[in-house]
Structures are given as C-alpha cells and as structure tokens.
Amino acid sequence: MSLRWLACPLPRDGEFCEGGDGPTVCGLDRRGQMSQWVGQQIGTYRLLRVLGEGGFATVYLGEHCHLGTLAALKLLHLSFSSEEFEAFRREAQLIARLEHPHIVRVLDYDVQAGTPFLVMSFAPGGTLRSVRPKGTVLPLSNVVDYAAQVSEALQYAHDRGIIHRDVKPENLLLDPHEQVLLGDFGIAVLTQRSRSISAQAVVGTAAYMAPEQFRGKPCAASDQYALAVVVYEWLAGERPFTGSFVELASQHLLTPPPALREKNPGLSPTVERVVLTALAKDPARRFGSVREFATALEEAAHTLSPTIPAHAQPPADHGSSMVLAPTILPTGPEPTSLSVGLARPSQQQQVAGPGAREPAQRRRARRTRRVRAICFVLFVASVLLWLITAADPTLHGWFAGAILLTLVFWIAADADHRRATEGLSAKQASPRGRKELS
C-alpha cells in the first residue's frame, strides 16, 4: 500500500496552517466545501458523486484515472498535529493489512490539500442504515445472519489485536451478493487522535458505545456490546438508549436496557437473554468472544438452549424491585425458592420482609452521595488544571477531555443518587399512608 505524505500548498481563503517539525497540517471548515470535490482528482481517482456524509467524513465514489475501476474515497473532516499525523499513518498501515471476506479493504491512504483520505473497496449495495432505515424491525432470521457475518469480521480483527470501536449500521455495507462488509476499521481511533472533532460529532457513535469506552478503556468486548446494540435495534425497531451525548453516556454507564420482549413480544425469552447478556455493563459478564455471542444468538433463534457462560448475566435494573433477567423455566417443585436464589442480595431482603430492604436503600443513598461528591471534586480539579496548563497545548487538551469525562460521571452519579433517595422516600412514605388509612 502506498502511504504518501504531502505538505500543504499555500492556504486558500478560510484555511489556516500549523507549522512545526514534520508535515505541515492545514485545517479548515471542510464540510461546506465537500461538494466542491465532485469532478476533481484526488490521488489517482476522479470523484464522481457523493455516496454519504457523516460527522467525521464524506464518502465519494471515485474512478481510477488509468484503470477505470471504482473505489470509495473517504475524505476526513480532520486536522492533525505532527504527532497525530504519525499515529494516523501507523493506524492506516495496520487496518490496511486486514483481509477478510466481511471487511471492507483499505487500498490506499494519502493527504491532498490538507485533507486526509482513505481509498477503500466499493460496496455497491450501500449501508445497512440506508437499506434498513431507522424504525425498521427485521425478521429474526435476517438479524441472526447479519450478526454472524459481522461477528466473523470482528473475531478476525480481535484475533489480531485490533478493536473496531465504532460498530453501527452506518458502517455495515452490502456487496453485490448482499453479503455484509464491516467498514471503517480504525476510523474511531484515528478521529479520536484529532482535537478538531467536537462532542456533537460523536453523538451518533455514542449510541452504540460500551460503558468502558466512555471511561477510555475499550476492549474487544466493547465491539460485542456495540453489535448487541445493533441487534437490539434491529429486533425492537429502536436503540435501547437515546438522547444527548451526556444522556447517552449516563444511560450506557448506569441504566439497564429496556426489556426487549416489551418492544417485540414475538421474541423468545432465550433470544432476549442472549442480547441482554451481551449488553452487560461489565465486560467480564458478557460472552467470552463476539463469535460466542453470535453462536448463542443463532442457537436461541432455533429454540435451542444457548451456550451462555455461567458468569454472564443480563444487567440488573437497580431502580426497580424486579429482576431484569431472562425468563428461566423452573425445573423443580419449588419455583419460589429458585427465583429467590437468582435475585440480588437486596431483592432477597425484600422477599424476607419490607423492613429488611430499607437499611440497604439507606446504605445505597449514602454510597451514591459519596460517589457524587467525589465526581464533583474531580470535575473541579480538572477545570483548575485545565486553566493552569493553558500554556501547554498537550496538557491543556488532555484536561479538556478530563473535564468532559468527569462531568459525565458527575451527572450520572447525581442521577443515580436521585433515584436512590426517591426510592427511599417512597419506602418511608408508604407505611405512613397505610397508618392513615387504618
């Protein structure tokens, strides 16, 4: 693969250039000018038309000037420092080595007029988002088939130490034979290396991000979580969580997903259990691999007993007295004892009596109050450090990110504390109401 690094030409109106050691980087508000690229030549390709546009990039259909072959060219809305440029080059080399029947090939990379772009194989079928618009409920057989193909692509990358980090319908394409191709490997990493991306630009991606990604610790299980969100959306017609970036972060970190069978009653309990297991907040409680998730989903779809690890359990609803878990058919004559054994400790106290739950609620309220205070202190400290390091661009950027992260945690902790205190207040008010009625 050719990786050619070009210096920027003289800046045009609206551009600015950052100098320094290494390549010179030009930045500008490119989104309004992306349509001007149609008909122009980028590298060895002439751009024919726009295929799609998102917060990070615009994708064009390009024709090779000499061979006449078609390819998709992704022009990124980014600008890089010298250090970020070198990291970008390494990432591009890494993802270009991925060769799999269900992965979009990266053919080339270059920079022209200050605009980084990737040349990829062309998928004429479009994205699954365009073929299956939002709100569409897919047949279970189609979902199983799509999930199996995507999981094979992800497993191939995971076996080579590569995490996608941005699995969503917009990055799933169809080839001429309607086979699924997973695209944009590494794009999430590359865009995160640039400080030119605003928080609003990642809201669409945040809807599929795993809790550990919001904490800055993505792992292979993060791709499994994102695929589970996609599967949930295909089966329910909507994503489990919606809202602004802060609201999405809070929900992914703390809120259990709504029961899948409430949105699609035709699904079996085993299918719901598989999806909720892959959506566990803790990566260790999900399936051992994304391939295991797809296999369990296929088994559940065929009414077999899915292979779910003993440690993997769906996320529990901490704001409800019910256990948000799949339906488990009792095998013995004492179903009541079975359900008690499966409940969380706080739920076992509820079975023992109303009075046994209240101390646990008070302890939770005190704990959430402490967590909220800690998050607030970290937020204030991040703001102070951000102000102190104004002269150092690198540290200033890091602490700007820390401000956003601690703000998300603070808001989430405050919401969790409100739920805990409201539950305790309701519990305390209930006995008084019963006395008045008596």
Half-sphere exposure of 250 (CA within 13 A, CB side): 16
Q: For residues 372-395, give the mean pLDDT.
A: 83
278, 225 contact by CB (below 8 A): yes
Indicate the DSSP class of residue 70: E
Burial status of residue 304 (CB atoms within 10 A of its CB: 0-12, 13-18, 19 or more): exposed
Residues 139 and 83 in one domain: no
Please give the model's pTM, rounded to 2 decimal places: 0.62
122, 71 contact by CB (below 8 A): yes
Burial status of residue 205 (CB atoms within 10 A of its CB: 0-12, 13-18, 19 or more): buried
| Residue 200 to residue 23: CA distance in whole angstroms | 28
Instruction: List C-alpha distances in Å: 191 to 127, 225, 314, 371, 374.
Output: 20, 21, 32, 31, 30
Residues 315 and 361 in one domain: no
pLDDT digits (tens, 9 = 90+) for 219-259: 999 999 999 999 999 999 999 999 988 899 999 999 999 99
Residues 85 and 218 in one domain: no
Residues 300 and 246 in one domain: yes
Average pLDDT, the chain: 75
Residues 114 and 152 in one domain: no
Structural domain contains residue 150:
yes
pLDDT digits (tens, 9 = 90+) for 82-106: 776 777 777 778 778 888 999 988 8
Residues 168 and 254 in one domain: yes
> Which letter, b or e, does each residue of 133-162 get, where b requires 16 or more Cβ atoms within 10 Å of its Cβ?
eeeebbebeebbbbbbbbbbbbbbbbeeeb
Q: Which domain covers residue 57, as residue numbers? A: 3-120
pLDDT over 90 for what percent of the chain?
29
Structural domain contains residue 376:
yes
Q: For residues 34-42, give the mean pLDDT.
A: 76
Measured distance between the N- and C-terminal CA atoms of the chain, rounded to whole angstroms: 82
- CATH number for the domain spanning 84: value is 3.30.200.20
Residues 154 and 271 in one domain: yes
pLDDT for 140: 96
297, 271 contact by CB (below 8 A): yes
pLDDT for 430: 52
Structural domain contains residue 339:
no
Structural domain contains residue 112:
yes
Residues 191 and 300 in one domain: yes
- CATH number for the domain spanning 294: value is 1.10.510.10
Residues 66 and 165 in one domain: no
- Of 166 and 334, the one with more pLDDT: 166
> Which letter, b or e, does each residue of 170-188 get, where b requires 16 or more Cβ atoms within 10 Å of its Cβ?
bbbbbbeeeebbbbbbbbb
Residues 148 and 233 in one domain: yes
Quote the number of domains for the chain. 3
Structural domain contains residue 335:
no
Q: Among 64, 97, 120, where does a domain finish?
A: 120
Annotated catalytic sites, by residue? 166
| Residue 408 to residue 394: CA distance in whole angstroms | 22
pLDDT digits (tens, 9 = 90+) for 65-85: 899 889 988 888 777 667 767
Residues 23 and 112 in one domain: yes
Residues 93 and 216 in one domain: no
